[in-house]
Structure 1
Amino acid sequence: MLYDLNIAWSPGLSPSDLQNTLRLSKTLGYDVVALNNTITGSQIPYSPSPITNPIPILNPQQPAGGGGAPSSITTPSTTASSSLPSSSLPTILRRATLEITDPATTNYRLPDFTRAYDLLALRPTSDRSFTWACNNTTDPPALISLDLTRPLGYHIHPRTAMAAVHRGSRFEVCYSQAVQLSSLNPESARARSIFIGNVQSLVRATKGRGIVISSEAKSALGLRGPADVVNLMAVWGLGPERGFEGLGMGARAVVVNEGVRRRGFRGVVDIVSVAEGGPERAKGEEEETNGKQGKKGQKQKGQQQQQQQQQQQGQGQKRKNNDKVGGGGIGGGGGGGGQQKNNKKMRKEGMA
């Protein structure tokens, strides 16, 4: 399965444009996508008011990605479900990306955003917020997404980056940030060169590990096929194997881990749904299993009884043989006694 965990969404996006983007992503081969709501620092509420999710639920059939994806049914939403047909759409998750400038004012609201969205990503904008996102968050974020078209203003240190990877976070590279730039604009050409340099710095710091590739497409024109994305990343410094991993297994691991975190208890106890068909089918399967085990037990018991009978027959035959040998010895002893009497008689006659 292929994943695109970042398709830009905004309240002003028209349903027709969103539908075209989702249908094209399905046509290109992406099975699971995530609609991303970017929230700046000024939009983060600092009061203990509840966090609402404005992204509509487009296809509530869940879970996705091998049984461990988060369920959008249990996530609150202030918008009614859309009437878009889900037959030609991929599985859709809802994601929030928080732009972090001052970590002190955001840390305590992270659990509220985690409960409201399927995925939570952090976009640090300074050296302090980057170090905090990698090392000091209460719960490690699912994704650390950087705006690679701007100078970061700090160096991506390998120790800091690998600390985030070891904690379970993944770094996101959004190729549409460079693809949608106009080649005729000098500022766009400079932004593209900055993007390539930042990607190479990130790959060098992580050695290609823990990287997830997304699009961050604002329209259908920003999407590319998986083969094109892997080729682009190979030109920018990420090998083809790591590129396919960033579109497949790496992104799937993010979705599954976040689903277990939300549906389980401390990542240990997971909620398992009842088998299809209800309790009657589950009871029938249990009786069938017990019947098979009973037949297997009867067969083993019959084999054990047969072995015991063979052992008893062998012991009886051995006793008979021993009895025969013992009788021959007694007869021989009697014969020896008669010979002794004859010898005594012959001695007496000789003395006479």
Structure 2
Amino acid sequence: MAVFMDLNLSYTADKSRLQSLIETAAHLGYSTVAINYVFEPTVKRKQETPVPTPIKDLFDKLPIVQGRSRPIRVLNRLTVVLTDSGYFKPSAPEYRAFDLLAVQPTSEKKFHSACMNLDIDIISLTVTEKRPFSIKRAPVNGAVERGIVFEVSYSAAIRDSTMRRYTIANAVCLMETCKGKNVILSSAAEKPLELRGPYDISNLGLLFGMSDGDSKEAVSSTCRSAVLHGETRKTACGIIKAMKTCSDTSSQQEAPPAECDAPAAKKLKQDE
């Protein structure tokens, strides 16, 4: 049985609306959702970064919403808008509190940096307007090798016909470059009516130029890979130390007696 995920539910300070979003996602068949907070860092590093409250602290008690088989899992996600005037350091303590770290590049330079250098989980592409830069194959392949996924959101296409045309055109362009691999489809929904079921989103992937298998993975296994990548980013750090083993020590201790036996044998031969 496939495990479906929507890794982009728009953050809102209205607790009742946020809970309604989570409940609707659970009823549609999603087992995991991520509450996404978007912000743009400033160039002044001394200024305090407006980091949102984690979802687990937003409610007095995290609402347990029953899905089809088990309670739905709610994750924290932060999306940083990368501009030329912004300052972004993924290893900063304020960013490590989130389960998923995504960036939204606004220029080709920032897109190349996100693909090749930044320690992130998701690259979110703006698909509701004309792209300010072209998506090249080299940085996309670099991001795929590093386990980073690309995100296409569909809720804006529901609101406006112009945004719908841009969404389809930009998504098709991305699929032609990355061949439909390492792509997740999410909602970016602001209200429950903008959510769609996982099988509807799989069919939407076919419209974007994805294969049947890739479109199903875009709401299941690829999302799971992004979540695991986020867990690894937060916890995988350590030191490797090389030490001599017992077998190496014993072999070195046995070597000198073998060398000492040779002169003794030679002396015995001379006495004879």
User: Do they superpose with TM above 0.5?
Assistant: yes
Matched-pair contact (CA < 8 Å) for 2:184–2:219 = yes
Pair 1:130-2:132 in alignment: no
**Matches of 1:249 and 1:136 in 2, distance apart?**
24
3-state secondary structure, aligned to 1:99:
strand
Pair 1:19-2:1 in alignment: no
Residue from 63, 77, 84 that aligns with 1:95: 77
Map of 1:285 onto structure 2: none
State the superposition RMSD in angstroms. 2.4
Residue from 163, 172, 175 that aligns with 1:203: 175
Aligned residues: 235
Q: 1:126 to 1:237 in 2, by over 3 A?
A: same
**Matches of 2:132 and 2:51 in 1, distance apart?**
33
More helix by share: 1
Shift of residue 10, structure 1, vs aligned partner: 2.7
**Matches of 2:211 and 2:26 in 1, distance apart?**
25
Letter in 2 for 1:169: I
**Matches of 1:267 and 1:101 in 2, distance apart?**
35
TM-score scaled by length of structure 1: 0.62
TM-score scaled by length of structure 2: 0.79
Shift of residue 83, structure 1, vs aligned partner: 5.7
Residue from 169, 189, 199 that aligns with 1:217: 189
**Matches of 1:237 and 1:266 in 2, distance apart?**
41
**Matches of 1:213 and 1:190 in 2, distance apart?**
19
Structure 1: gaps (5+ residues)? 58-76, 182-187, 269-352
The structure with the largest alpha-carbon Rg is 1
Matched-pair contact (CA < 8 Å) for 2:83–2:107 = yes
Residue from 141, 144, 152 that aligns with 1:173: 152
Map of 1:147 onto structure 2: 126
Shift of residue 82, structure 1, vs aligned partner: 3.9
Q: 1:48 to 1:3 in 2, by over 3 A?
A: same
Q: 1:104 to 1:15 in 2, by over 3 A?
A: closer
**Matches of 1:104 and 1:52 in 2, distance apart?**
15
Pair 1:246-2:250 in alignment: no
Map of 1:38 onto structure 2: 38
Q: 1:212 to 1:109 in 2, by over 3 A?
A: closer
3-state secondary structure, aligned to 2:96:
helix
Q: 1:113 to 1:207 in 2, by over 3 A?
A: farther
Matched-pair contact (CA < 8 Å) for 1:212–1:250 = yes
More strand by share: 2
Matched-pair contact (CA < 8 Å) for 1:53–1:117 = no
How does 1:303-322 map onto structure 2 within 5 Å? none
Q: 1:23 to 1:80 in 2, by over 3 A?
A: closer
3-state secondary structure, aligned to 1:5:
strand
Shift of residue 112, structure 1, vs aligned partner: 2.8
Matched-pair contact (CA < 8 Å) for 1:50–1:112 = no
3-state secondary structure, aligned to 1:216:
coil
Share of identical aligned residues, percent?
29
**Matches of 1:56 and 1:121 in 2, distance apart?**
17
Shift of residue 240, structure 1, vs aligned partner: 1.7
Q: 1:110 to 1:146 in 2, by over 3 A?
A: farther
**Matches of 1:105 and 1:50 in 2, distance apart?**
10
